Structure 1
Amino acid sequence: MAFRYSFGGDTFLYVEVSEDGMSLEAFFLAMAICNKLRAMQVEGITEICPANASYMIAFNPDILPYQKALEILKSLEKEVVGAQTEIQTRLIEMPVFYNDPYTHECQMRFRNNHQCREPGSTLDPNMSDIEYARQINGYESVEAFIQAHSESPWFVSMIGFVAGLPWLYQLVDRKAQIEVPKYPVARIDTPKLTIGHGGCFGCVYAVRGGGGYQMMGITPAPVWDPEQRLPYFKESMVFLNPGDIIKFTPCTQEQYDHYVQEVEAGTFDLPIHSVPFSLKEWQANPKAYNQKILEVLK
């Protein structure tokens, strides 16, 4: 796997772990290097930021010359290749109201931004995001698409874009990945806690705001809370971490409304389990391994 090193001005060093895009192998390598860097506590490194298939460090060149910083990272590259493939992580079950009226209303406000109304499009000009995703991924029905979206778990590959927003990569064979292009023209509004999808990545919009991912549904579960009101925010105002695994569970309007009331009352909580994850075992048989780690939810 080829690493690519790029300097950003005098104080940043960006490293692409894979030039072939996102893969779990690339993610594990980036995570392993970032973990080793944190443990080393290198004088002069002021920030370490892991991403999907890359990472970046900020450093003080008066303390750590750029050439020395580069040498340290290249030495870690040699150490971690083929190394860390097992982690102890969290499995989190999260309810999702798919095909909901809240994101649907937002979709209709921004239909002119969507593929279905591009010049020359033969698509239904009022089709929903989830119907569009279903169609281009070859599923027979929206229900079949929702099943595919929710039955296999998702890996949190990075946090970013806005505070607390998790980037998600589904734990399925690459050929089975759901892929959906983003809106050609981004929206200026997205409901808080929308479940989005763009390219091969899912996300949970932590706050209301602009966005371009197709909207699949909405969750009642906050993922960012600066007041840390809910039980699962005890350790941090940002709930999710790279390496966490999320299992989406479809819920009804009635269930969603009940969960929202619990959130407002400060009593809402999520099932969280500590589980081991082995990249090698997962690669050997993704479907069987997913079933194995999801056993704790039964």
Structure 2
Amino acid sequence: MKTRYSYGGDEHIFVECDEEMSLEAFFKGMSITSALREAKIKGVTEICPANASFQVRFDPDVISPEAMMAELKALEAAAQAAPSTLQTRIIEVPVLYNDPWTHETLMRFRERHQDPTSTDIEYTARINGLDGVDGFIKAHSGAPWFVSMVGFVAGLPFLYQMVDRPRQIQSPKYLRPRTDTPRLTVGHGGCFACIYSVRGAGGYQMFGITPMPIYDPNQTVPYLRDFMCLFSPGDIVKWKPIDRAEYDHTVAEVDAGRWMPRIAPVSFSLTEFQKDIDGTNARIMEALNGH
């Protein structure tokens, strides 16, 4: 679809890149917002990227809404002509699938689920034609995921699976939201994964839990001292299945201030990805070796 621009009062412009989520729409939004940051246009006070859209806040006393709109449309034309390559990083996130804490929670809320007789992983594996829990874990952790946006709750990333459409895991949200979700739950709703940065209400399917803090407002966790939120749009995530012993060890190391996540710089080309999805993913994940 053609990019849709709309005003949000006197101080905001909302830009919709596409009506459905795709890597193409995500890259379009990333390219425009990146160009907007680099342009350092006077009056721009906030840039908020989302899955297939973004919103810009500006000071109308410094730049008029019409002038801001014109600047964004010019940036879109320049961004579309630029190569679709992103310099980013891949972050390994350990996950204890089928953990006892999300299991206890999901059992408390079975009456709100589409299938009260099975767990969230069993249900999602079945509706996606996967071979039970093991098949689900293999599919979920076998390819990297893009962080398409961060928000709604501080530090909470939304992630889009980097595979072709037929292989993307899809699962609906609960019929009615839960009033409780454990902190650091790995969840899923629609085609998006997420990590619940704090404990609270939620409606996404619950698949496991990570021992890795992703949000620390006190900035006492060593790798969160520079910024309280770990993820940024454009980051790439690789899930790493772990057992209970490794989970407990990692929690202890985090508490002692000794644990650091595995992070590596990577270059991602949308053109190369579209030509060879599995080959591009293998190259990206290989970057973690040695980190």
Report the TM range for the smaller structure's normalisation.
over 0.9
For the Cα contact (< 8 Å) 1:230–1:267, is it kept in 2?
A: no
Instruction: Look up the SS of the partner of 1:87 in the other structure.
Output: strand
Corresponding residue of 1:216: 207
Matches within 5 A, 1:152-163: 152-163=143-154
After superposition, the C-alpha distances for 1:241-269 in whole angstroms (9 at most, x for unaligned) are 11111110100011111111112112121
Query: What SS class does the counterpart of residue 69 from structure 1 fall into?
Result: helix
Report 1:1-298 matches (<5 A). Answer: 1-19=1-19, 21-116=20-115, 125-298=116-289
CA distance in 1 between partners of 2:66 and 2:267 (Å): 37
Unaligned runs of 5+ in 2: none
- SS of the aligned residue for 2:30 comes to helix
The one-letter amino acid paired with 1:50 is P
C-alpha displacement at 1:140, in angstroms?
2.0
Question: Which range is displaced more, 224-233 or 214-223?
Answer: 224-233
SS of equivalent residue, structure 2 residue 125: helix
> How far has the Cα of 1:169 moved from its partner?
0.6
User: Secondary structure at the residue paired with 1:242?
Assistant: coil
2-structure distance, mates of 1:232, 1:276: 22
> Cα offset for 1:186?
0.7
Distance, in Å, in 2 between the alignment partners of 1:271 and 1:44 is: 38
Aligned letter for 1:174?
R
Structure 1: which 5+ runs fail to align? 117-124
Select between 223-232 and 125-134 the one with higher mean Cα deviation: 223-232
Alpha-carbon RMSD: 1.2
Deviates more, 1:75-84 or 1:277-286: 75-84
Which one-letter code corresponds to 1:243 in the other structure? G
Which residue type is aligned with residue 173 of structure 1? D
Deviation of 1:33 after TM superposition, in Å, equals: 0.8
Deviation at 1:5, TM superposition (A): 1.1
Contact 2:263 2:288 in 1 (8 A): no
Give distance in 2, aligned partners of 1:227 and 1:60.
31
Give the aligned length.
289
How far apart, in 2, do the equivalents of 1:54 and 1:115 lie? Answer: 30
Cα separation, 1, equivalents of 2:157 and 2:205: 15
- Partners of 2:122 and 2:148 in 1: how far apart? 26
Structure 1 residues 10-44: Cα deviation after superposition (integer angstroms, max 9, x where no partner): 2111000112x111111111111111111122122
Query: For residues 128 and 141 of structure 2, what CA distance do their matches in structure 1 show?
Result: 15
2:265–2:287 Cα contact (<8 Å) kept? no
Letter in 1 for 2:113: H
CA-to-aligned-CA distance 1:23-70 (integer Å, 9 cap, x gap): 111111111111111112212221111111110011122222111111
User: 1:119 is matched with which residue?
Assistant: none
Secondary structure of 1:291 counterpart: helix
Give the 3-state SS of the residue equivalent to 1:210 in structure 2: coil
Contact 2:184 2:210 survives alignment (8 Å): yes
Distance of 2:133 and 2:81 partners within structure 1: 40
Structure 1 segments of 4+ aligned residues over 4 angstroms from their partners: none
| 1:82 Cα deviation after fit | 4.2
Q: Report the CA distance between 1:223 and its aligned residue.
A: 0.6
Q: Name the stretch that deviates more: 59-68 or 181-190.
A: 59-68
Q: Identity of aligned pairs, percent?
A: 54
Distance 2:81 2:163 in 1: 21
CA contact under 8 A between 1:224 and 1:239: conserved in structure 2? yes
**Residue matched to 1:122:** none
Secondary structure of the residue that 1:273 maps to in structure 2?
strand
How far off is 1:165 after superposition? Answer: 0.5
Q: Note the alpha carbon deviations across 1:171-205, whole angstroms, 9 max, x for none.
A: 10112110111111111110000000001000010
